Structure 1
Amino acid sequence: MMSNMISKFRITDGKGFSLKDFDAGYADGFEKSDAKAVLDDLIEQTFDLQTELYAANKYALLIIFQAMDAAGKDSAIAHTLSGINPQGCQVFSFKQPSTEDYDHDFLWRHYKALPERGRIGIHNRSHYENVLISKVHPELLLNERLPGIDTVKDADHHFWAKRYESIRSFENHLTTNGTVIIKFFLNVSKEEQKERFLERIDDPKKNWKFSSADIEERQRWDDYMHAYEKAIKETATKNCPWYVVPADKKWFTRIAISTIILETLKDLKLKYPTLPKEEKRKLEESKKRLERE
């Protein structure tokens, strides 16, 4: 069931891709009552493989989360990675670019945040914001002070094609050099987003999560869906697939994410390093000395 679930969500070629083909409420036959036990088992298995990832020191794992507001990115990260050794994991949440960021190319701040070999890096929002929010709000591009982009109209089809190409090249470079990339789009429905917004407004403990700007962005829902669909179409590859994960049921979202991370690590066929003969001899000597104490 798990492998079928992964293939159902994985996009390795954007040809013919449409978000309308993906059900935000899908749960693959799982029940909420079983979710905790299933998730606990997945997290335990992932912890073991994370140790091997760290010890092998051959690959890095970069996990990217993109979604509309209230889709559950923060809680998904907190729950699915709750059993990960924090020494081998790092989380970056990308907000509005700083003045320093704008003084560099759009990939600069993301490159700086990449995980080292042996570690897991989580990017809560990512370089994809530059073909998502900037696509919906092209006036933001003017902050980049790009040659030839003096007005919004200058960002034409060819500009965006080049930007998608830059992202593909960036990710291809990373995978060639040992960084495994998992890209998640948490697919929440507009109806579910409304319910979560209302919950944030009604619950004083969640008021801080809500901003009136969220409502303004909600009015651009169709524009964002088009931007996400286009970004996935243009950047889904065999080596850097997208996973369109149902997000209306948070408990299932966590199961799906954990399953995909676990299976990705399994596919690496990780092994603990084998020590040279001389080091093994020293180990035996150390063991004998300890036993003589």
Structure 2
Amino acid sequence: MKIITDERCTSYSRPGHPERPSRISGTLARLRSQSEMALSWAEPTEAKDAPILRAHSPELLASLDKPYDFDADTPYYLEIAAHARRSVGGALEALKSARAGEPAFSLMRPPGHHATRNQAMGFCYLNSIAIATLEAHATGAKRVAVYDFDVHHGNGTEAILKDTPGAAFFSIHQFPCYPGTGSKNVGNNCFNFPVAPGTPRMEYRRILTEALEGLKRFEPDIIAVSAGFDAYARDPLANGTLEAEDYFWLGESFRKLGIPFFSILEGGYSDDLPELIFAYLKGIDGK
């Protein structure tokens, strides 16, 4: 399995902000100290304009260089445009790896699934998973499915991919919760599975399974996974009920589909994030 990361993504922060550098540095320390999985490592390059502009407007791309906060959750940071481009680059490298037969996890920040065509929001500046999905289409994939298990609805991914031929979006998320979207299906290809706050764990897993069944019926060539770990029972930003073994089960479930897939880090803000990612990767590894 390939881990794609660049430690420069730990170089920006704002005091008190939950999307913090230790999400990456702590997970890297956990993965480097383990001996249960054989991991290969790669660094992403900064994504060029062409793939980004399939998903985003030129105005949004230009705005990343302007020293103004996008909203209260999404501040301007020095060199945030470069950080966001490398995060997109991680998703594109993960796509390449999956196509070559090696599952990959892009361990990068910032996350991306809230960024819409014209707006950075919700800790997200560029929508890496949507960009990688459109890149897959542009380079030969006929059917691409996005499976988003972050506790927050991937409103940006939905908005970008809505009614795109050959793409399907499956989001399992808490509702009501930020950003307030995702209560029902949208367009002809965006399927939402809202989960009430505090839903019992096995019922939550049943809903995740229902979405997986929908994904299988779509019969994708490749699967792009928005891997958010904030539906964890002790995450501070929501009211999920999942445990580490549920993330192992998710990784195992993707492996058993027998379809090429790659994953990118979205949310997950508890101190246990390294163990949750480790459990997910062990499920993918299957050893």
TM-score (norm. length: structure 2): 0.37
TM-score with structure 1 setting the length: 0.36
Structure with greater Cα Rg: 1
Q: Is the helix fraction higher in 1 or 2?
A: 1
Q: Quick one: higher RCO (CA 8 Å, sep 6+), 1 or 2?
A: 1
